[in-house]
Structure 1
Amino acid sequence: MLNLGILAHIDAGKTSLTERLLHTAGVIDEVGSVDDGSTRTDSLALERQRGITIKSAVVSFAIDDVTVNLIDTPGHPDFIAEVERVLSVLDGAVLVVSAVEGVQAQTRVLMRTLRRLGIPTLVFVNKVDRGGADPERVLAELARKLTPAVTPLGTVEAPGTRTARYVPYTVDDPVRTARLTELLADHDDALLSAYVEGAAPRHDELRAALAGQTRRALVHPVLFGSAMTGTGLDALTGAIRELLPAAAGSADGPVAGTVFKVERGLAGEKVAYARMFSGTVRVRDRVRVGGSARGAGDKVTGIGVFEQGTAAPRDAVSAGQIALLWGLRGVRIGDVLGHEHDVPERQWARHHFAPPTLETVVEPRRPSDRSALHSALTQLAEQDPLIGLRQDPLRQEISVSLYGEVQKEVIEATLAEEFGVGTDFRETTTICVERVVGTGEAVEIIDTDPNPFLATVGLRVEPAPAGAGVEFRLGVELGSMPYAFFKAVEEAVQETLRQGPHGWEVPDCLVTMTRSGYWPRQSHAHAVFDKSMSSTAGDFRRLTPLVLMDALRRAGTRVHEPMHRFRLTVPADVFGTLLPALGRLRAVPHTPTAHGSSYVVDGVVPAARVHGLEQALPGLTRGEGELETAFDHYAPVHGTPPGRPRTDHNPLDRKEYVQRVTRRTRVGQSG
């Protein structure tokens, strides 16, 4: 069993390659076409209409005695969240690169992530039959732009023609053998010694070393071919079977799996796509969902296991397999099934890619559809958690977070076609963050004005490095009050930091609880609990936002906007006119380099201006400019910081906040 991901920059031919692999394995009789909308994995109507992959899809086929679950993923960067979820279940990957366009922006993002997660990866250079195909140039780009640890397993005859043919290297090629030995010797002391002494290793030794290092993600074999003509496909399937690792895990071990996709069935029920890492799940078993956080578990009412193309009903699913599971009512993407300690460590690195940096307000065209819109968006957020719904009860508005304009168009079309809700989307805006710049402390004492709650809370806020996340610490004794009260403070801190003083999330800081105090449970003579004289978790939950916001104001926060790195390739004669346009977009270019009749310039540009750059580029470059962009970092906003409308009870305004959370008009009355 092997769970294999197919990844690529858009239009590299990844879905066509999936079709060819299924055809080669005998699963389908005819190769489907992306243009005709007849491919097996692009099953959504929108995918067929637009000719792009939007949702990941699983198909299965056999290579000799190895069953391969192949997961086709989106190539467009707007749907990178789908790719992120798939990475958590892979045993290996095939990274597809076009022999014409070569290494592109998304190619680099994907390869960096695959290498960081240690996922064994083959590179398939596709479209060798297309005009302009240059396999040798692309091989050099792979080594220069991705990693020097790439090694070709063959070459191409007549590239750029319909008769292009992949030719594997033979055993008796001395140049090839020497290069491969040199590469593998970097991680193999025995090979290194033999290489230094001039002893040529045997072919079977080299092949075994290549397989071992590929499975450890130390080297990346490169194959060439064409999904359209089928050349090179036999070599690719052979490499998948020989060089990538089979799924590990014991069917007799404790149940452990990961949910990477959730859909709704015909009756509206949740259907979970899960990769099993250990154990066996049977129909009618109860499975604990979400680690230890949510109860004893739900009863599995149905199982589908992928075999020869599609999922077939089965009574059980075991370690190494991917299955559809029915009956897990509260399941969410990213949930662990069973025992979390039996899930590989890298599955917990939830965010492999940058979060969305754009958002927009969605409004129903008919006011009567407001409830239906909320229900539809909630279902879409189940399938894609990074959609990130934000509701503003005051303005009766719903905002969704986005990776780009194409994703917005797809959401709009999905709402209309699948849910029957017509919508209008406002102009896309940028999602900023707030970073703590100093240290600030605040405290509110129980039974002391202006504190209206039966709780004492003191908090200190300090900055943390970018990417560190929010850490909550106790600076008081854990036994000084009930644990539930500490938990209420911690949860309220996490919730409050979603909207800092300017309304943006505060992603990286250290919050320490410095003071605590409470009134023990009080009862009257007949043991009737008196809430007005006893502290509850609610008191701590309601007081914490006031204290934390005071501490944040004293520490100070600064708004940071997302910045994208860009690479522009433009004709040399238009480069001079391009620079003023980059300046107007607040882009900061670095020193350009000449490549023949073109200039290549790297730099950074605010995420808010990327769409404008994409629109302006064709006119500035006669349609010959090429642009690659990807999120890079957050940078401080200069001038007046942008604000974001609040959707909470506004702890920045004490009177308004207390009135809302206590539902009383007089400040100071206990809730």
Structure 2
Amino acid sequence: MYKTIGVLAHVDAGKTTFCEQLLFHTNSIQTRGRVDHQDTFLDNHSIEQARGITIFAEQGRMEIGSDIYTLIDTPGHVDFSPEMERAIRVMDYAIIIVSAVEGVQGHTETVWQLLRQYNVPTFFFINKIDREGADVGAVVGQLQKECSEHVLLINDPLCADYVPNHIAEWLAERDEQLLDAFLTETLDAQTCLMQLQKFIKQEQAFPCFTGAALKDIGIKEFLSQLPLLTETQFDHQRPFQGEVFKIRHDGMQRLTFIKALEGTLHTRQDFTFGDMTEKVTEIRLYNGSRFVTTQKVQAGEIFAVKGLSLAKIGDILGSTMTPQPYELVPTLQAKVQYDGQQHIKEVLQVFRLLEAEEPSLRVVWHEKFQEIHVHIMGVIQLEVLAEVLKSRFSLTITFGEPKILYMETIATTVTGYGHFEPLKHYAEVHLLMEPNIRGTGNTFVNACHADDLSVGNQRLIEKHLFEREHHGLLTGSPVTDIRFTLLTGRAHIKHTEGGDFREATFRALRQGLEQAENILLEPYYRFKLKASNDFIGRMMNDIQQADGTFDAPVLTEEQVTLTGRVPVATFMHYSTTFAAYTNGKGSISLQFDGYDKCHNSEEVIAQINYNKQADPDYSSSSIFCAKGKGYSVPWYDAKEAMHCL
């Protein structure tokens, strides 16, 4: 069986060292590296070795009995969590590493929530039990409280003919048939293992193991459990489907990393992207930076292919399914600063290549100002990005101060009208625009009759609404949470040409925004703060000062837990402040919690100083034609001038 297992953790929990041990004990590598020696097998990038952290999700390949495992070591730092999320999407199982000293930390909770959203069966490994201050019992209790009551500590290794009595009892408490067998002493080990495996798959059991990866304690015992407690089923007979989860470049050659979901893939197989067809020219099976080539791969395997230049991360090859959006999105943007010899457009192409590898960068090119902007998770990501640009492309790049990514929406319902009719062109679009539920994004409904506008042109209007981000009127930020309904439109049998409906659609959208009540949105965090009771007053005051809200505090004899929502803009640097006044003993978890009304709209609008009349990409005016000449009609007069009212 093919099994993909990811290893995840808060930074410095010992994740990479744990991976080294697994690969060593399965003879996948001959020697074990160490993070502090800068020679680990999976952290093979020079930047990772220099910084001592995992930045890129890399995979190893190992065998246990008849099973072939792909082991994915993921980044533990929050700035690189989109890379982690993309890896989670292709995991069959996950292992969360938790320090026996620090316990559940901020990023651990983010990892846990993501795994639950993607329904990935999960194991825990409590690491560093040899260190002073280690408290396995306390950490298990914390996991059961913070993560799931179904966390099950396994101290004694299970085997085909032995399951400890307390494990059998734990299982019997959760299944009536097992309970009957347990009470009559007829519950055998094989039945227990099958039921535990089923519970794990259904996310009703989360086995927890203990050890010390650096000292090689508990590793062999953990490895012996994997074949017993994991199981995968893939259909090799169906047509091939595979999810693209990573793009890399070997020199100038593009490598597309895929998880095969169904069927079998052969070299020379074709895939169609729109009007283009591309062929797989090589298949590689990677183990760290090393690889072997093969002629085919089957469902369940992780591999890389050459020959596909159009496949994007998130695409499901061989399927017409729309890719599922990612949960983790950047809330900051930064301006690229470059004064070298290369033309800025050449630098832009480098950033486009990096964007293919890291889609969350969302590279934005401002033609008017000849500027490049990138979306980022945090300042550490910018530092690493600068190092990558220097080492890979010999570009010396700096970045401006990161700024919040704002969005805009509407609070009222309007109908937007757009008409585009310069000489020998013609298109008209009427769009009903309504506020969507917050966080829904932009959606489309078609209420246009085919007698008014051909189905092809209707689809064209929908395509233009979603082919790019559209600027709002307040700050020029992207608009979101709008429900567009195509009411009607008109084409000319002779004069409508390609691009006419793009112009009319954009003008209708912009004309609608001119009529609507516009709202500025900003990103929010869902926070969780844990610290000594002594700090409850300081914590509550800081949240109020940051324009946040909090739920009722949860108090124990020694500790307070505070949860709530707060704007990213006021809280993005709070981790440092919190660590300082709690002497590093507090715990903070910050998770992106969508966009909501901006707490200081007037200040932000004044600061950005966006001039809606001077945006070269947008106009709310419509173009009409009379006596062979085109003329402009401003947005406030456009409705009366429309042809299909």
Fold match by TM threshold 0.5: yes
Amino acid at match of 1:432: Y
Report the equivalent of 1:475: 447
What is the DSSP-based 3-state SS (H/G/I as helix, E as strand, rest coil) of the residue aligned with 1:154?
Answer: coil
Asked if 2 retains the 8 angstrom alpha-carbon contact of 1:120 and 1:244, the reply is no
Residue 445 of structure 2 is aligned to residue 511 of structure 1: no
Shift of 1:507: 2.7
Give, in whole Å, the separation in 1 of the partners of 2:578 and 2:123. 34
Give, in whole Å, the separation in 2 of the partners of 1:385 and 1:35. 30
- Counterparts in 2 of 1:174 and 1:339: CA distance versus 1, 3 Å: closer
Give, in whole Å, the separation in 2 of the partners of 1:649 and 1:139. 59
Residue 375 of structure 2 is aligned to residue 395 of structure 1: no
Residue 270 of structure 2 is aligned to residue 287 of structure 1: yes
Give, in whole Å, the separation in 1 of the partners of 2:203 and 2:583. 42
Counterpart among 238, 246, 249 of residue 253 in structure 1: 238
- Counterparts in 2 of 1:247 and 1:10: CA distance versus 1, 3 Å: farther
Report the equivalent of 1:654: 621
Asked if 2 retains the 8 angstrom alpha-carbon contact of 1:289 and 1:331, the reply is no
Residue correspondence of structure 1 range 637-652 to structure 2 within 5 A: 637-641=598-602, 642-643=604-605, 649-652=616-619
Give, in whole Å, the separation in 1 of the partners of 2:229 and 2:45. 33
What is the DSSP-based 3-state SS (H/G/I as helix, E as strand, rest coil) of the residue aligned with 1:17?
Answer: helix
Report the equivalent of 1:383: 357
Amino acid at match of 1:498: H
Residue 303 of structure 2 is aligned to residue 323 of structure 1: yes
Asked if 2 retains the 8 angstrom alpha-carbon contact of 1:435 and 1:463, the reply is yes
- Counterparts in 2 of 1:108 and 1:626: CA distance versus 1, 3 Å: closer
What is the DSSP-based 3-state SS (H/G/I as helix, E as strand, rest coil) of the residue aligned with 2:499?
Answer: helix
Give, in whole Å, the separation in 2 of the partners of 1:648 and 1:426. 22
What is the DSSP-based 3-state SS (H/G/I as helix, E as strand, rest coil) of the residue aligned with 1:133?
Answer: coil
Report the equivalent of 1:349: 324
Give, in whole Å, the separation in 2 of the partners of 1:611 and 1:481. 49
Q: TM-score, with normalisation over the residues of structure 2?
A: 0.89
- Counterparts in 2 of 1:496 and 1:331: CA distance versus 1, 3 Å: closer
What is the DSSP-based 3-state SS (H/G/I as helix, E as strand, rest coil) of the residue aligned with 1:228?
Answer: helix
What is the DSSP-based 3-state SS (H/G/I as helix, E as strand, rest coil) of the residue aligned with 2:35?
Answer: coil
Q: Deviations over 1:389-419 (max 9, x none)?
A: 1111111111111111111111122112221
Question: 621-630 or 166-175, which moves further after superposition?
Answer: 166-175
Give, in whole Å, the separation in 2 of the partners of 1:491 and 1:536. 16
Residue correspondence of structure 1 range 24-173 to structure 2 within 5 A: 24-154=25-155, 171=162, 173=164
Counterpart among 330, 336, 339 of residue 365 in structure 1: 339
What is the DSSP-based 3-state SS (H/G/I as helix, E as strand, rest coil) of the residue aligned with 2:570?
Answer: helix
Asked if 2 retains the 8 angstrom alpha-carbon contact of 1:571 and 1:625, the reply is yes
What is the DSSP-based 3-state SS (H/G/I as helix, E as strand, rest coil) of the residue aligned with 2:489?
Answer: strand
Asked if 1 retains the 8 angstrom alpha-carbon contact of 2:427 and 2:489, the reply is yes
- Counterparts in 2 of 1:70 and 1:476: CA distance versus 1, 3 Å: same
Shift of 1:173: 4.9
Counterpart among 210, 219, 222 of residue 224 in structure 1: 210
Q: Deviations over 1:161-209 (max 9, x none)?
A: xxxxx999995854443223213x2xxx5225556x7666222221111
Shift of 1:385: 0.7
What is the DSSP-based 3-state SS (H/G/I as helix, E as strand, rest coil) of the residue aligned with 1:311?
Answer: strand
Shift of 1:270: 0.6
Report the equivalent of 2:643: none
Amino acid at match of 2:121: P
- Counterparts in 2 of 1:289 and 1:306: CA distance versus 1, 3 Å: farther
Shift of 1:367: 6.3
Q: Deviations over 1:547-604 (max 9, x none)?
A: 1122233332311211112233344445545555444433444444445555443333
Asked if 2 retains the 8 angstrom alpha-carbon contact of 1:365 and 1:424, the reply is no
Give, in whole Å, the separation in 1 of the partners of 2:74 and 2:163. 38
What is the DSSP-based 3-state SS (H/G/I as helix, E as strand, rest coil) of the residue aligned with 1:366?
Answer: coil
Give, in whole Å, the separation in 1 of the partners of 2:578 and 2:161. 46
Report the equivalent of 1:634: 595
Asked if 2 retains the 8 angstrom alpha-carbon contact of 1:10 and 1:75, the reply is yes
What is the DSSP-based 3-state SS (H/G/I as helix, E as strand, rest coil) of the residue aligned with 2:213?
Answer: coil
What is the DSSP-based 3-state SS (H/G/I as helix, E as strand, rest coil) of the residue aligned with 2:11?
Answer: coil
Asked if 2 retains the 8 angstrom alpha-carbon contact of 1:151 and 1:180, the reply is no
Q: Which runs of 5+ in 1 are unaligned?
A: 156-165, 342-346, 522-533
Give, in whole Å, the separation in 2 of the partners of 1:368 and 1:257. 38
Amino acid at match of 1:440: V
Give, in whole Å, the separation in 2 of the partners of 1:386 and 1:478. 38
What is the DSSP-based 3-state SS (H/G/I as helix, E as strand, rest coil) of the residue aligned with 1:107?
Answer: helix
Shift of 1:106: 2.0
Asked if 2 retains the 8 angstrom alpha-carbon contact of 1:485 and 1:537, the reply is no
Amino acid at match of 2:285: V
What is the DSSP-based 3-state SS (H/G/I as helix, E as strand, rest coil) of the residue aligned with 1:208?
Answer: helix
Report the equivalent of 1:275: 259
Q: TM-score, with normalisation over the residues of structure 1?
A: 0.85
- Counterparts in 2 of 1:369 and 1:579: CA distance versus 1, 3 Å: farther
Residue 429 of structure 2 is aligned to residue 457 of structure 1: yes
Amino acid at match of 2:616: H
Amino acid at match of 1:190: Q
Question: 508-517 or 305-314, which moves further after superposition?
Answer: 305-314
Shift of 1:625: 4.0
Shift of 1:358: 0.8
Shift of 1:471: 2.0
Residue 501 of structure 2 is aligned to residue 540 of structure 1: yes
- Counterparts in 2 of 1:244 and 1:557: CA distance versus 1, 3 Å: farther
Asked if 2 retains the 8 angstrom alpha-carbon contact of 1:13 and 1:98, the reply is yes
Asked if 2 retains the 8 angstrom alpha-carbon contact of 1:567 and 1:629, the reply is yes
Report the equivalent of 2:407: 433
- Counterparts in 2 of 1:192 and 1:470: CA distance versus 1, 3 Å: farther
The number of residues matched between the two structures is 622
Q: Which runs of 5+ in 2 are unaligned?
A: 634-645
Give, in whole Å, the separation in 1 of the partners of 2:89 and 2:535. 44
Residue 5 of structure 2 is aligned to residue 22 of structure 1: no
Give, in whole Å, the separation in 2 of the partners of 1:299 and 1:397. 36
What is the DSSP-based 3-state SS (H/G/I as helix, E as strand, rest coil) of the residue aligned with 2:572?
Answer: helix
Asked if 2 retains the 8 angstrom alpha-carbon contact of 1:455 and 1:519, the reply is yes
Q: Deviations over 1:483-535 (max 9, x none)?
A: 332232112222465322232222322111112111102xxxxxxxxxxxx11
- Counterparts in 2 of 1:33 and 1:553: CA distance versus 1, 3 Å: same
Shift of 1:48: 0.6
- Counterparts in 2 of 1:367 and 1:574: CA distance versus 1, 3 Å: farther
Question: 467-476 or 597-606, which moves further after superposition?
Answer: 597-606
Report the equivalent of 1:524: none
Asked if 2 retains the 8 angstrom alpha-carbon contact of 1:99 and 1:138, the reply is yes
Give, in whole Å, the separation in 2 of the partners of 1:214 and 1:169. 17
Counterpart among 550, 560, 581 of residue 620 in structure 1: 581
Asked if 2 retains the 8 angstrom alpha-carbon contact of 1:211 and 1:242, the reply is yes
Shift of 1:382: 0.7
Give, in whole Å, the separation in 1 of the partners of 2:538 and 2:205. 43
Amino acid at match of 2:78: P
Give, in whole Å, the separation in 1 of the partners of 2:340 and 2:545. 39
Asked if 2 retains the 8 angstrom alpha-carbon contact of 1:439 and 1:554, the reply is no
Report the equivalent of 1:335: 315
Shift of 1:19: 0.2
